[in-house]
Amino acid sequence: MSYPVYLVNAFTEQYYKGNQAAVVMVEEFPADTSLQALAREFGFSETAYVKRLGFGKYQIRWFTPEIEVNLCGHATLAAAKVLFHEIIPQEKLILFQSLGGDLLARKQREGIQLDFPTDPPLPIEADGKMLKALSQANAEEILFSAFTQNLIVVYKDAETVRSLKPDFSILNKLNNHKIAGIAVTAADTGKYDYICRYFAPQEGINEDPVTGSAQTCLAPYWGNRLGKLELNGWQASERGGEFKIRLTENRILISGRAFIYLKGELKRGF
């Protein structure tokens, strides 16, 4: 048995930009240990495994190099790109069943729109050692999103976010299994409404290049703070990525592009 595999840069249309994901098409899911081992072998922040369930309906699972996660935006965008452009080009709508619930992907004239649930953050008291390991700068607000288990740390300006140099040796020692990742963010005074970065050493990812799932927390926060339903966000990692976001009552619509830069197949079971 062979498995089609696609390597995709999500939230970009270029080499060396956006966030990388492997998309593996399966008829049946192999053992979880095999899924995890292959994700570790690829070494990307996420590997997506996709199984067809019916007409326009697929099951999707996401694995970091260390764990399976409940929700991933960039690997869902990558999977939708593969399906829309390589497997079912005649379709304009895909339903993904996942641990994060039912997710929709819509083909648009320019890119793909993901329809995800929102995960609004609430204020929380955070570990002082963890905050110091992130930055010596004082945080304006600290919040937590229950479903994605993301800690949100808000700083006073974009330059503070851009210049952060977290001490991952300390963050790894402070590993809190209730926290999946840490999103740092600030308002932007230029092209974007806000910028962010995302750290998840607990999942084997020191810094994630572009994190779609974190926008389910960040966009409701910034939408409420700025009084906007449409937002432009920028993830200020080395690779960088742009989000175009629209908020509805309890959903977030994230539009982005993706670039398939390699396709092939695994020649035998893994």
pLDDT one-digit tens code per residue, 79-95 = 999 999 999 999 999 99
Mean pLDDT per 10-residue section of the chain, whose length is 270 residues: 94 94 97 97 97 96 95 97 97 96 94 96 91 92 94 96 94 78 94 96 90 96 97 96 93 96 88
46 is catalytic: yes
Q: List the domains of the chain with CATH numbers.
A: 3-117+255-266 (3.10.310.10), 122-246 (3.10.310.10)
Cα separation of 78 and 45, whole Å? Answer: 13
Region for 79 from its dihedrals, namely left if φ exceeds 0, alpha if ψ lies in -120 to 50, beta otherwise: alpha
pTM of the model: 0.93
Catalytic residue among 13, 28, 46, 110: 46
